[in-house]
Structure 1
């Protein structure tokens, strides 16, 4: 394994992923929760996809968006965890330069797709609760397909400039990435070039795209809450609020760790590097694990289908 520290090179053929700096001796123990979260994410999201495919009564907009969320979670977690586990278990730290850029693209691209999927799900809940009589005419299969394609295209395109810029810069300081994966900021800071344009573009994506997603979701659920509070009976309010409450839990589990990860570097002088790396891992690995649990618990039709499935297997 080549372990170049401060050699003079331009665009190295490989990067070295350091893992979690300062906690190298604990890598095996750290791998246990990450491996567990990944297994739960893969099993949970695969079950969601299987149940929705088999249960024709679930062929509705909300479940189509849920399937898109499940696929996104599978890609997002698989983009990062297998390589992490190879570092933790086998000390396999090398990653090819092009593979590093590909990992960066998939991580940030599918994060944006997931953010867009939550917007689509908020739109579905808004129409279903605020204008239920027109739900089937507004969110037709054609509209749902177009929304899913738009979110997919947006995520794939909006991250591309950052990755293309990163691929063009010279890297002459070191090829050691102080992280478990090729996170954008960790790679770009190794470049021997003026990377301010990438920084500005990153801020635009955070505030101009993800920020707008958060604003749209907030406005949607504000309107939903107003409708819920105006319902005539307490039971109706509790039932409707319970359904939306689980959606909000999934949304908060997605955005809050990302917000913490974004704010932590601002206090870099006071926060150890291993905290930076752990937080950047949590915001990518935890939501794919939590989403199938949250929706599997909250959606009665999925529970019933799973119950019938296990009952058939036992008989």
Structure 2
């Protein structure tokens, strides 16, 4: 249904949606292109950044084109299988995104706390294996969600008051018992986000302990600067995710259109800003992006 109550403003709403989406695609594809072309950037940190860019492209593409079809052409229909597929991709990619942020925190921990062994521990092959593990974990955790819903009978009212197949909204139009589905969704959210945030907090506590042992203020600043981009991306990813999930589950007093807009912004703002943050904060990447931009 799009955003119920704001139908008259769909054209205006579509302008920031499409703008954010185009910037997101341009930024993330630029990161992939530059890292792919530059041999000097074939390092663990930049390979992880490419994985992050791929998840950002998939996340925004899973949601935005359908939303724009509703805003521009009033195309509101979607098949049950299409709906469940969209749900799977959204949650699997979000889980993989979170796992990549954990791996990036581990990368920063090794770079600061064990720099002499960094190159031998985190090789490109090992990064590829970690990326594959992130993907397998995401699929195994998320796949039961659409499978559980696919076995449920749906009522006559097949209306989802949202711009995409938001899992709780889809579950609400089921006539069957969705207790198992709700428990699974809550447990997975707690395990994935809870475990990932714990591991990130552990990495940064060890980083801070190592930094505080350094006597030189210049070395302090240099060590902390290497983490700034990652911290910004984490705040940008987890804060709206937690807000969106909590408002959907417990925010009965919040207007539905506010919830829907916030949920969409979670899939638009981080993918748009992540490549900008890394390009600004990482000198090596910034220089290479500047070189290719000038050529164009």
Contact 2:6 2:257 in 1 (8 A): yes
Provide the rounded CA distance (Å) in 2 between the counterparts of 1:258 and 1:310.
Answer: 32
Residue 26 of structure 2, aligned match among 23, 39, 43: 43
Q: Tell me if 1:126 matches 2:131.
A: no
Q: Tell me if 1:243 matches 2:232.
A: no
Q: Tell me if 1:115 matches 2:110.
A: no
Of 252-261 and 135-144, deviating more is: 135-144
The offset of 1:44, in angstroms, is: 0.2
What 5-or-longer segments of structure 1 have no aligned partner?
A: 1-17
The offset of 1:209, in angstroms, is: 1.7
Query: How has the CA–CA distance of structure 1 residues 246 and 138 changed in structure 2, closer, same or farther, with 3 Å as cutoff?
Result: same
Provide the rounded CA distance (Å) in 1 between the counterparts of 2:3 and 2:232.
Answer: 29
> CA offsets per residue over residues 46-98 of structure 1, 9 Å max, x none?
00001111111111111111100001111111000001001011111111111
**2:121 maps to which residue?**
138
Q: TM-score, normalising length from structure 2? A: 0.97
Residue 84 of structure 1, aligned match among 64, 67, 73: 67
Q: Tell me if 1:190 matches 2:173.
A: yes
What 5-or-longer segments of structure 2 have no aligned partner?
A: none
> CA offsets per residue over residues 197-228 of structure 1, 9 Å max, x none?
01111111111122100110111111112222
**1:269 maps to which residue?**
252
Provide the rounded CA distance (Å) in 2 between the counterparts of 1:157 and 1:83.
Answer: 26
The offset of 1:270, in angstroms, is: 1.1
Of 282-291 and 212-221, deviating more is: 282-291
Provide the rounded CA distance (Å) in 1 between the counterparts of 2:125 and 2:292.
Answer: 30
Contact 1:173 1:191 in 2 (8 A): no
Provide the rounded CA distance (Å) in 1 between the counterparts of 2:11 and 2:88.
Answer: 27
How many positions carry a matched residue from both structures? 296
Provide the rounded CA distance (Å) in 1 between the counterparts of 2:26 and 2:284.
Answer: 18
> CA offsets per residue over residues 78-123 of structure 1, 9 Å max, x none?
0000010010111111111111111111111100110111011111
Of 267-276 and 113-122, deviating more is: 267-276
Query: Which secondary structure does the structure 2 equivalent of 1:132 belong to?
Result: coil
Query: How has the CA–CA distance of structure 1 residues 266 and 96 changed in structure 2, closer, same or farther, with 3 Å as cutoff?
Result: closer
Provide the rounded CA distance (Å) in 2 between the counterparts of 1:312 and 1:149.
Answer: 34
Provide the rounded CA distance (Å) in 1 between the counterparts of 2:103 and 2:131.
Answer: 8
